[in-house]
Structure 1
Amino acid sequence: MTESVTASALVDIAGSLARSVGQMIHEKRAAGVDVAATKSSLTDVVTEADREAERLLTEGLRSLRPEDAILGEEGASVAGTSGVTWVLDPIDGTVNYLYNLPAYAVSVAATVTDGAPGTMSDGRRAIAGAVYVPTTGELFTAWHGGGAYLDGARLSGPAETELLSTLLATGFGYTVERRTEQVEVLRQVLPRVRDIRRMGSAAVDLCMLAAGRLDAYYERGLQPWDYAAAALIARESGAVVRGLGENAPGEELLIAGTPAITAELAGIIAEAYRTLQ
């Protein structure tokens, strides 16, 4: 079986699970939210819905693809023998979910570690993925070489523009040190773009970029579950997804947009971080 055939089958699994679990957490939100724990700081929360969603995703994958590995944000870790690892974010944008803000999503990605183009800094390469936004009912999907889609309609990514006309999204970490650093970098970026949007979900940001609703996006400190599916969706829509310099995108930095805009942003951000050293 070729990778393209495999990936197109895997995206159906990703989309079906993301949608069903997303609908569950949306219904669960109406009954209220219980904070189960905190992670990197008191502001970095985990809800009972996160844990329930990850359990349902894991059970679904174990039933459908028992030989695959699983890596989940909330601790799911299953070994596999197929070479495929599913990377899960049961609720990307948990703080939004906690406050009943609309920008949260379920992210499901099938990844491999073959070193081919598109590999991220953690060594993984997504070959199929889905992001479901429960509050809008939108399902974003993509598979390697097959394009990116919103509810079945093909996406064409952001249009080329000038940096000064760029609507740029970003996000912030949860520790004081990381936030302080990110604010200093933003001070260098903000005067050079049209405006900034801070949605609170990397998966939502990257999907909005793929849909042409944002011009560019960057963030530092992302983990694989934050971007695995959505970065593939952005890339398959035609956007560039890159890191700093020759480095692969990922935790150090992920920048997405058109070629010209990402190149300009990479230079500005790199210079901003140099001034902090």
Structure 2
Amino acid sequence: MRSLNLDYACDFAVETARKAGEILMSNYNHVKIIDSSHSSDLTDLKTLADVDSDNLIRDAIARNFPDHNIISEEEKAKEVESEYTWVVDPLDGTIPYTYMTSDHFSVSIGLCRGKKPILGVIYAPLRNELYAALEGDGATLNGTPIKTSTLTEMSKAIIGAEYGHEKRTNTLDFHRKILIPEGVRYVLTLGCATLPLAFVASGKIHAYYSSHLEPWDLSAAAVINKEAGSKVTTLDGKVWELGDESILCANPTLHKNLMEFFKK
């Protein structure tokens, strides 16, 4: 296997995410929904833009990194026994995208070495925001370095959360705890996981948690947050890695306070 130039891989991910974003915007305002009545997941919504964006990204990875694994939301995983795995969400936030309820949708492309996220790109085309990080190089928003908020007081914290497609009621236990008067200031649920996670990395909001999300929701955001200064773990406190379903993300002090609060 040839050695991997991570700077090249990051440039590739940025360029590919922008091209996928062009597909999303070319379909925006006249979205074609694909029938998913055959799916066992009745919360699933798929559009032609999901499929076209996924095809573009997977084809680009296959051409440029033919010996790498690929996991994406829309197709079966490509497994070639590589230590490197690309993790792709061609359109996160399909509901706000389809129904035009907000600009909270994005393309997410992550790269893991083994189970460790080492590269992440999240592109929100309608917001013109591109978040990127490479292990050891810090995190950026549109090329400008970003850092996680230093807020430590839970009572002042705005926190993102998402239910996911499966086991949605699992999140209710955490909601019940965190919404009491001694909890946080506000909980945002945007119908999109990658962007509120990126908002944590850039200091727009203060933390994010979910009990059940997919690899493509979390892989790129995990490394972006780590490089921005967040502590990124599961809800059990284990360092997040590819395959983990839950996540808690905040600056180290707020993260500790939230962990202690959830355990009460």
Length-normalised TM-score, structure 1: 0.86
In structure 2, distance between residues paired with 1:67 and 1:180? 39
Contact 1:18–1:131 under 8 Å retained in 2: yes
Equivalent residue pairs, number = 258
* Residue matched to 1:36: 35
Which secondary structure does the structure 2 equivalent of 1:142 belong to?
strand
Deviation per residue, 1:229-273 (Å, 9 max, x gap):
0111111011111123443436442100111211121233344xx
* Residue matched to 1:170: 161
Q: Give the alignment partner of residue 219 of structure 1, picking from 191, 210, 218.
A: 210
Letter in structure 2 aligned against 1:102: D
* Residue matched to 2:228: 237
Letter in structure 2 aligned against 1:104: F
The offset of 1:82, in angstroms, is 4.8
Which secondary structure does the structure 2 equivalent of 1:37 belong to?
coil
The offset of 1:157, in angstroms, is 1.4
* Residue matched to 1:255: 248
* Residue matched to 2:117: 126
**5+ residue gaps in structure 2?**
none
Contact 2:34–2:48 under 8 Å retained in 1: yes
Structure 1, 36-45 or 97-106: larger mean CA deviation: 36-45
More helix by share: 1
Structure 1 stretches of 4+ with a deviation exceeding 4 A read none
In structure 2, distance between residues paired with 1:182 and 1:245? 14
* Residue matched to 1:118: none
Which secondary structure does the structure 1 equivalent of 2:198 belong to?
helix
- Is 2:208 the counterpart of 1:209? no
Letter in structure 2 aligned against 1:48: L
In structure 1, distance between residues paired with 2:81 and 2:173? 44
- Is 2:106 the counterpart of 1:105? yes
Contact 1:126–1:232 under 8 Å retained in 2: yes
Deviation per residue, 1:175-227 (Å, 9 max, x gap):
4xx33332232011022111111122111011111111001111111111111
* Residue matched to 1:198: 189
**5+ residue gaps in structure 1?**
114-123, 272-277
Which secondary structure does the structure 2 equivalent of 1:78 belong to?
coil
> CA RMSD, aligned part only?
2.2
* Residue matched to 1:66: 66
Length-normalised TM-score, structure 2: 0.90
